[in-house]
C-alpha cells in the first residue's frame, strides 16, 4: 500500500467545491448550471485554485439535491449537457484547473431503471429486498414485486446491493459479496467511472464510500472492494484520483483511496477545530468549544493527535483533506463567528500539509443563512443544510449577480443581509478576505515547504498555534479575539525572519517570544533549518 503512487497534481491541489445549483445561472431559470460555471472560470483561475469538485451533476428527480441518481451516464438537464461538461473540462484545463465529479455508488433514485426492474423481478438482487419488513426503516415495494427494500438515506434512495460481510440465517435478504447482484453493481461502478474519465474528468469524490458492504466489521470487505477498484485504476487510469467521503483517513486511504476528509459528522476531530455548535449542527453533537472561535476556549490537541495517527497509518500513500465547510455543514461564517474572524482559518488550511478544500463563497466570507425553507431534502431532521447552499454572491446587481431570474424563482434565496460580501467588492479592496485567501494560495503553490510534502513541526499547541513547515517557514495562527503569546524555540533564527503572508498584528520579539493580536496570523520565512517531529 505504501508503494502506491499518488498523482502529482493531487499532491499540489487546492480544491474548490462547487454546489452547482447555487454557483452561477446562465439561462435565467434561477438554478446554477455548467455554462454559468464556464463563464466564471476566470474568477477561480485568478484565485489560484487548481481543482474543481462538483456536487452531483447526474440526472435525478432531486429528492435529495442530486444524490438520488436516476441515470449515471446523463448530465441533469438543469445543468446543461454532456457537451457543456466537456467544454468546461477543456476550458478549465487550459487554465490549469482539473475537474472532479461526485460519485454516488451506494444507492440510486427509486426512479432509476435498475431499481424499477428490480421492483418488478423477485429474482433481481441488485438492491436489498426482504419479503417481510425487518424494521420501520425498510420501504414498501413500488412495483409488482412483493416486500420491502432497504434505503440508504431517504426512502427515495434504495441501497444498491454490494453484499453483506456476514451471513445470518434469520435474515435471508443478506447476500454474499460475490452474489450476482453485488457482482453486477461492482462491474457497473467501473463502467461509470471509466465513462467520465474518458471524457476528461480527473477523478471523483465518492459519496458515503464506507457504506457499500453491509454489516462489515472494521470495513474489511468494503476495503477489499475499493482496493480492487484502485488496482484497476492504477493500471487503466493512473493519473486519476479518488477522494473518499469516509471521514477516517487512517482507514480509507489504506482501503484504496488517494485521500479522505476529516468530516464534521464522523467524530469530534474536525468539529473541535471550527464546529462552533451553531448553524446546521445536530443537537447531539453538543456545544463543546472549538479552537477557531472568538472566545478562545478551544484546543487543537484533539485534531493534532488524530492528524498524527492518520499520517502514521497513511505513510506516503495518500493525503488527508481538510474542508472549510461543505454542502452538509455550516460555513465558517456562522452564528457568532463573523467574516472578520475567519482569515486565520484560511491561513491554517493553506499552510497545513493537507489537501485544502474551499467551499464556494467561503473565500469572500459568505455566511450560513438561518431560517430558510427546505429545498430538495436539505432539511434533514434538525439539520438545516440549506443555510450553506445559498447562491454565490458575485456583485451588487439584482440577485447578487447569480441569476437574472425573479427573486422568487431562485433555487434558494440570496442572503438578505444588505452588507453581504461580494466578489466584485472584495476584488476592489486589497485587504479583503478574498485577497488574503488569494495571497495564501499563491504562497502555498509557490513554496514547496508549505505543501503536502513539507515537514511539520508543531512548536506551540495552544493560542497561538505555531508550527514550522519544511524547516524553513514559521506559521503563527491566533483565531481568538484576545491577544495570545507564546515562547519560541531558540533554534528558529527569528531575528532574520521575513514575513511572506499576513503579519499584521503578529510581533516576533527579540527575546524569542511571539505575540499575536486577536484574529491574526503570519507566515514567515526563517533562515535556519529546524528538525521535524
Sheet holding 506-508, edge to edge: 484-487, 513-516, 506-508
DSSP H/E element including 442:
helix 433-446
Q: Is the pLDDT of residue 494 over 80?
A: no
pLDDT at 281: 65
Band of pLDDT at residue 533, cut at 50, 70 and 90: very low
150-201 per-position pLDDT tens digit: 999 999 999 999 999 999 999 999 999 999 999 999 999 999 999 999 999 9
425-467 per-position pLDDT tens digit: 999 999 999 999 999 999 999 999 999 999 999 999 999 999 9
Band of pLDDT at residue 275, cut at 50, 70 and 90: confident
pLDDT at 501: 97
Maximum Cα–Cα distance for the chain, whole Å?
80
The C-alpha angle 459, 460, 461, rounded to 5 degrees, equals: 125
> Which is it for strands 241-244 and 379-380: parallel, antiparallel or unpaired?
unpaired
Q: Could you give all domains of the chain from N- to C-terminal order, each with its CATH number?
A: 8-106+179-445 (3.20.20.80), 108-159 (3.90.400.10), 455-525 (2.60.40.1180)
pLDDT at 278: 65
Contacts of 85 (CB under 8 A, 6+ apart): 34, 57, 75, 99, 199, 201
Distance of CA 378 to the CA centre of its chain: 17
Take residue 413 and report the three cell numbers written for it. 434565496
CA 161 to CA 108: how far, in whole Å?
Answer: 11
Band of pLDDT at residue 335, cut at 50, 70 and 90: confident
Take residue 288 and report the three cell numbers written for it. 463543546
pTM above 0.75, yes or no: yes
Q: Is the pLDDT of residue 108 over 50?
A: yes
CA 348 to CA 469: how far, in whole Å?
Answer: 12
Query: What mean pLDDT is predicted for residues 35-56?
Result: 98
CA 196 to CA 318: how far, in whole Å?
Answer: 23
Beta strands in 418-528 (DSSP E): 456-461, 465-469, 473-478, 484-487, 498-502, 506-508, 513-516, 520-525
CA 302 to CA 308: how far, in whole Å?
Answer: 10
Burial per residue of 265-282, b for 16 or more beta-carbon CB atoms within 10 angstroms, e otherwise: bbebbbbbbbbbbebbbe
The lowest-confidence range among 3-12, 367-376, 475-484 is 3-12
Amino acid at each position: 500500500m505504501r508503494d502506491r503512487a499518488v498523482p502529482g497534481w493531487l499532491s499540489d491541489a487546492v480544491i474548490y467545491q462547487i454546489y452547482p445549483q447555487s454557483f452561477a445561472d446562465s439561462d435565467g431559470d434561477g438554478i446554477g448550471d455548467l455554462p454559468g460555471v464556464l463563464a466564471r472560470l476566470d474568477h477561480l483561475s485568478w484565485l489560484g485554485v487548481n481543482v474543481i469538485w462538483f456536487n452531483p451533476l447526474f440526472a435525478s428527480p432531486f429528492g435529495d439535491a442530486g444524490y438520488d441518481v436516476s441515470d449515471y451516464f446523463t448530465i441533469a438537464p438543469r445543468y446543461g449537457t454532456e457537451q457543456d461538461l466537456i467544454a468546461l473540462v477543456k476550458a478549465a484545463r487550459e487554465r490549469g484547473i482539473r475537474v472532479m465529479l461526485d460519485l454516488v455508488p451506494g444507492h440510486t433514485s427509486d426512479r432509476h431503471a435498475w431499481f424499477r426492474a428490480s421492483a418488478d423481478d423477485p429474482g433481481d438482487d441488485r438492491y436489498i429486498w426482504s419479503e417481510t419488513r425487518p424494521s420501520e426503516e425498510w420501504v414498501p415495494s413500488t412495483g409488482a414485486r412483493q416486500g420491502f427494500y432497504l434505503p440508504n438515506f431517504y426512502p427515495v434512495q434504495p441501497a444498491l446491493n454490494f453484499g453483506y460481510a456476514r451471513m445470518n440465517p434469520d435474515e435471508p435478504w443478506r447476500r454474499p459479496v460475490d452474489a450476482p447482484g453485488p457482482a453486477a453493481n461492482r462491474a457497473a461502478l467501473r463502467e461509470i467511472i471509466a465513462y467520465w474519465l474518458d471524457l476528461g474528468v480527473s477523478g471523483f469524490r465518492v459519496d458515503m464510500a464506507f457504506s457499500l458492504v453491509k454489516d462489515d466489521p472494521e470495513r474489511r470487505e468494503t476495503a477489499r472492494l475499493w482496493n480492487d477498484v484502485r488496482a484497476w485504476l492504477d493500471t487503466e487510469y493512473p493519473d486519476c484520483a479518488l477522494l473518499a467521503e469516509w471521514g477516517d483517513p487512517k482507514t480509507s486511504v489504506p482501503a484504496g483511496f488517494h485521500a479522505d476528509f476529516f468530516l464534521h459528522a464522523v467524530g469530534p476531530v474536525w468539529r473541535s477545530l471550527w464546529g462552533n455548535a451553531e448553524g446546521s449542527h445536530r443537537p447531539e453533537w453538543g456545544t463543546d468549544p472549538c479552537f477557531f472561535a472568538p472566545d478562545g476556549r478551544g484546543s487543537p490537541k484533539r485534531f493534532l493527535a488524530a492528524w498524527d495517527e492518520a499520517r502514521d497509518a497513511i505513510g506516503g500513500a495518500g493525503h488527508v483533506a481538510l474542508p472549510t465547510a461543505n454542502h452538509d455543514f455550516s460555513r465558517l461564517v456562522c452564528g457568532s463567528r463573523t467574516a472578520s474572524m475567519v482569515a486565520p482559518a484560511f491561513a491554517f488550511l493553506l499552510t497545513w500539509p493537507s489537501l485544502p478544500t474551499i467551499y464556494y463563497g467561503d473565500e469572500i466570507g459568505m455566511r450560513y443563512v438561518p431560517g430558510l425553507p427546505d429545498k430538495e431534502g436539505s432539511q434533514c431532521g434538525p439539520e438545516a443544510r440549506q443555510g450553506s447552499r445559498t447562491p454565490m454572491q458575485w456583485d451588487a446587481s439584482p440577485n447578487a449577480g447569480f441569476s437574472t431570474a425573479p427573486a422568487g424563482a431562485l433555487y434558494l434565496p440570496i442572503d438578505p443581509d444588505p452588507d453581504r460580501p461580494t466578489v466584485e467588492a472584495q476584488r476592489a479592496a486589497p485587504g479583503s478576505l478574498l485577497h488574503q485567501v488569494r495571497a495564501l494560495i499563491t504562497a502555498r503553490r509557490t513554496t514547496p515547504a508549505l505543501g503536502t510534502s513539507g515537514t511539520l513541526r508543531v512548536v506551540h499547541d495552544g493560542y497561538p498555534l505555531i508550527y514550522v513547515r519544511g524547516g524553513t517557514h514559521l506559521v503563527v495562527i491566533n483565531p481568538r479575539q484576545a491577544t495570545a503569546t507564546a515562547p519560541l524555540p531558540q533554534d528558529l533564527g527569528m531575528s532574520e525572519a521575513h514575513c511572506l503572508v499576513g503579519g499584521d498584528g503578529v510581533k516576533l520579539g527579540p527575546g524569542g517570544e511571539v505575540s499575536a493580536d486577536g484574529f491574526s496570523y503570519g507566515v514567515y520565512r526563517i533562515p535556519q533549518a529546524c528538525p521535524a517531529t
